[in-house]
Every structure is written in structure tokens, then in C-alpha cells.
């Protein structure tokens, strides 16, 4: 993450609805938040294949399986099992006073 990132408030953690991911709209785009291994991981919500919401997929072994055509994305790295050209972006997170903040490019 470059120094040009902006930390953006995504709201109180208590209000995020994980099923399994929680959709949030920050920095002008929809992102998907996942809770895994005691941390929060954020990727683009729109599947790069045909734009299905990745927050609604199936979470298995640290990967979100898209509900439309079953492509898999590592929620920590954004790596797509189909090929690198389909990787999704990842975004650093931090928790401040019970609220989730996400670093988005400036």
C-alpha cells in the first residue's frame, strides 16, 4: 500500500452483516469484508468474471467461491484460481474504537 492511501471509515463492526462477507460502500466502490483468523480482510465485491457479489459466495479454507460460476478468490491475497489476470484487489484494514477502517487508494 502506498503512502497515498486514505483510511476510510466503513462503520461500526457491530453493524456489519457477515453472510459470509459483509458488503460496504467506501471510497466510491463496493467492497466485501470477511472475518478470518481473528482479522478482517477486504476485497473487491464484484467478481471480475461477471460481477456477481463475492460477499454472497461460499467461504471455504480462506477462499471465497463465487456463487455464479464457482471461481475462487483468496480473501487475503485476492488471487484467483483461474488466473492472475482475474485477481481482485485487496485493501488493508484496521479497527479504531470498534469501527472498521479500510485503506483505499487516494
Q: Which residues bind ligand FES (CB under 6 A)?
A: 47, 49-50, 52, 66, 68-69, 71
Shortest distance (Å) from residue 49 CB to ligand FES: 3
Q: Which is nearer to ligand FES, 49 or 99 (CB)?
A: 49
- Smallest distance, ligand FES to C-beta of residue 80, A: 9
Instruction: Quote the Cα angle for 90-94-95, to 5°.
Output: 140
Cβ at position 87, least distance to ligand FES in Å: 13
> How buried is 40 (Cβ within 10 angstroms: 0-12 exposed, 13-18 middle, 19+ buried)?
buried
Amino acid at each position: 500500500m502506498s503512502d497515498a492511501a486514505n483510511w476510510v471509515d466503513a462503520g461500526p463492526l457491530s453493524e456489519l452483516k457477515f453472510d459470509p462477507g459483509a458488503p460496504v460502500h467506501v471510497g466510491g466502490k463496493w467492497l466485501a469484508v470477511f472475518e478470518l483468523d481473528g482479522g478482517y480482510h477486504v476485497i473487491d465485491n464484484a467478481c471480475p468474471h461477471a460481477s456477481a457479489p463475492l460477499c454472497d459466495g461460499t467461504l471455504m479454507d480462506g477462499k471465497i467461491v463465487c456463487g455464479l460460476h464457482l471461481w475462487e478468490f483468496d480473501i487475503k491475497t485476492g488471487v484467483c484460481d483461474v488466473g492472475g489476470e482475474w485477481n481482485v484487489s485487496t485493501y488493508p484494514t484496521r479497527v479504531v474504537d470498534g469501527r472498521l477502517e479500510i485503506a483505499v487508494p487516494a
